[in-house]
Structure 1
């Protein structure tokens, strides 16, 4: 693996920390800016919306830039808005910085996925993807707790300064290691934006994006409501909640690593076995959440399975989107964030309906089951199409 890839992963770690760290900083932000906690919470919603909208739009914006220029532009913008967020005393300015940070994050991740997979062998996209997504999992394990600790010690602004500081080594690495020439598709007379958009019409690619959204929706539905589950159902004290969340994050880090080893060589067995195990795991966790030992073991296992399957789906999107390397990464980013938004909303709706703190786990099981059904239907459609006449790999559903 090229040395620049772990440093791209470091930038993704900073961005993932920024996305998730506000959950521990909202009270301090609300007090300091003299706003309600719910208004402070809208900062998280603004970031999520910016990620969903920004991924394809920023990817299209970057298509006539060199990858180095695009990565530097997005990452420098990300750093600067965190500096602005750290010094502002106005809620409106802070809200604007979260939207801009999300747009920069989405654009960076789309281009970074294309860059990483272009810098490795054609059959190593899964490993390259796992290095980048490993940054997101490490944000859950270390970045978010560290941000919360900084907020407790020196105030919420220190967490914003820390995110900006962590981004600096990646900027230097990109400047020195990523080629400065124009993107290959334009240098070689490639298809450009319209060509990449046409390539995205592949049924296989659409199915993979839907699967990514469903699996990530299940993941974040359960993760979002893990704290009240372990305190009110499992009976673990509130002081242990950060450790339980870190346990899920540790599992996700292990899952991304294992997924990266298998995604390039045995993606279908991994997705089938991992998806089935995910469904079983969410179901068993919902049934046994009252048992602390079973709950803690399954929190780790489900974190590993969720990110092993999720990262493999992202790598398969990049394999399927060979004609749209940048927009493929952008739409993969958007699909994951659609899931990250819809999953917690569905879990919250189940809680509002009075189904109890186990209900988000059942929602996660349903979303996973829908993913398995969709995969089965797509596979059946592909087999019927093959019997009628062999299609191209690009046109066949996953």
Structure 2
């Protein structure tokens, strides 16, 4: 894999830390700003909403810029809004900064996915995707628990400052490693032509699946801290460790899925989806056992990100005729799930259903994804120009 691909992963690590870090900061942030836990959790949904809107819009804007210029601009905006978020005392202002940060993140990821796919052979989209998403999973391993530790030691604002600082070396690396000019051999493409590709049924199906699976993941992950402390009975100091275990699992899942999503996507999605459903149900049923809760954090991180990264790769294969916008629509679909999931979990908590309820909601969401996958399996695994179409199922 090209060095520039790992540079992009470094930037994704910094941005992924911001997206996920609130999972360890929700209780403290809610107390400091005088809002409910479910309201503080809505910051995650706000970030996801910004990603949904920003991904396609910023990808279209990025089509007119050299990739290095676009990636640099998105990172600079991302740093600035985190500085504002770190100093504000107003929940509304913080909410706006989360949306703006998400728009910048969405633009970076959309352009970054297009750049990553362009760097590798046509049959290696899954491996390129796994490297880029490795930055997200490393954010779960190191960045998110680190943010939780900073939050517990110095307050939640310290985590926002840390994200802004972490973006600076990534910004330097992008300026040094990404070509300043567009690829000479890249064909001219119109946004309208790519949108027509993205409206095809094989693309729509995989985007729906990505949204459902990610909704389940974020429904639980956003409220993992109170699940660990209130249901499993572990001390608050365990929260960073459990988040790190989830992140280690997600890194393992993405790494394994990298090659399998290029060669055996049907088996990976079917087997992984069934295991993911069973795992969320098991977590909901056994969360009162601290050993089970800790172990399942790792297992579910692995399963959720293995299936999720395979779906992103599947979207890129299905949307091979839309190289600039395909990644943005995959990003938007994932973040539809990332917005809906925490919202559903928050509704369940607000209704007094208990801290296990987000895990039960995840069971329903994954079951819906499996049903859609079964009904549309022929469409899902038949893609024009798909280099993995010779699937062994």
TM range (shorter): 0.7 to 0.9
The aligned runs of 1:342-361 (5 Å cut-off) are 342-361=340-359
Comparing 320-329 with 205-214, greater Cα deviation is found at 320-329
Partner of 2:336: 338
Comparing 302-311 with 154-163, greater Cα deviation is found at 154-163
Comparing 56-65 with 163-172, greater Cα deviation is found at 163-172
Instruction: Render the CA deviation track for 1:117-176: whole Å, top value 9, x for unaligned.
Output: 111121111111111112112222211222233344445444333222222222222222
> Following the alignment from structure 1 to structure 2, what is the Cα–Cα distance between the partners of residues 293 and 254?
20
The aligned runs of 1:1-398 (5 Å cut-off) are 1-25=1-25, 35-38=33-36, 43-86=43-86, 94-182=94-182, 188=187, 190-379=188-377, 392=384
Q: Which has the larger radius of gyration?
A: 1
- Residues 251/41 of structure 1: CA separation in 2 closer, same or farther (3 Å cut): closer
- Residues 233/169 of structure 1: CA separation in 2 closer, same or farther (3 Å cut): closer
> Following the alignment from structure 1 to structure 2, what is the Cα–Cα distance between the partners of residues 276 and 165?
40
> Following the alignment from structure 1 to structure 2, what is the Cα–Cα distance between the partners of residues 83 and 231?
30
Kept in 2, the 8 Å contact 1:276–1:372? The answer is yes
RMSD in angstroms over aligned alpha carbons?
2.8
**Structure 1 spans left out of the alignment, 5+ residues:** none
Residue 72 (structure 1) shift:
1.3
Comparing 74-83 with 347-356, greater Cα deviation is found at 347-356
Instruction: Render the CA deviation track for 1:270-297: whole Å, top value 9, x for unaligned.
Output: 1111111111222233333333333332
TM-score when scaled to structure 2? 0.88
Residue 338 (structure 1) shift:
0.8
Comparing 309-318 with 131-140, greater Cα deviation is found at 131-140
Comparing 42-51 with 100-109, greater Cα deviation is found at 42-51
> Following the alignment from structure 2 to structure 1, what is the Cα–Cα distance between the partners of residues 162 and 150?
9
Kept in 2, the 8 Å contact 1:67–1:183? The answer is no
Kept in 2, the 8 Å contact 1:85–1:160? The answer is yes
Kept in 2, the 8 Å contact 1:252–1:307? The answer is yes
Instruction: Render the CA deviation track for 1:80-104: whole Å, top value 9, x for unaligned.
Output: 3333444566666554433321111
Q: Which secondary structure state, in structure 1, belongs to the residue aligned with residue 347 of structure 2?
A: helix
> Following the alignment from structure 1 to structure 2, what is the Cα–Cα distance between the partners of residues 29 and 236?
20
Instruction: Render the CA deviation track for 1:29-85: whole Å, top value 9, x for unaligned.
Output: 6788xx533576665443232112111111111111121221111112212333344
Kept in 2, the 8 Å contact 1:72–1:175? The answer is yes
Kept in 2, the 8 Å contact 1:82–1:163? The answer is yes
Residue 349 (structure 1) shift:
2.9
Residue 16 (structure 1) shift:
1.3
- Residues 181/336 of structure 1: CA separation in 2 closer, same or farther (3 Å cut): same
> Following the alignment from structure 1 to structure 2, what is the Cα–Cα distance between the partners of residues 349 and 30?
16
Residue 180 (structure 1) shift:
2.2
- Residues 290/373 of structure 1: CA separation in 2 closer, same or farther (3 Å cut): same
- Residues 241/317 of structure 1: CA separation in 2 closer, same or farther (3 Å cut): same
Kept in 2, the 8 Å contact 1:64–1:182? The answer is no
Kept in 1, the 8 Å contact 2:45–2:338? The answer is no
> Following the alignment from structure 1 to structure 2, what is the Cα–Cα distance between the partners of residues 362 and 256?
24
Kept in 1, the 8 Å contact 2:46–2:339? The answer is no
**Structure 2 spans left out of the alignment, 5+ residues:** none
Comparing 139-148 with 370-379, greater Cα deviation is found at 139-148
- Residues 349/156 of structure 1: CA separation in 2 closer, same or farther (3 Å cut): closer
- Residues 375/143 of structure 1: CA separation in 2 closer, same or farther (3 Å cut): same
Comparing 162-171 with 100-109, greater Cα deviation is found at 162-171
> Following the alignment from structure 2 to structure 1, what is the Cα–Cα distance between the partners of residues 29 and 351?
30
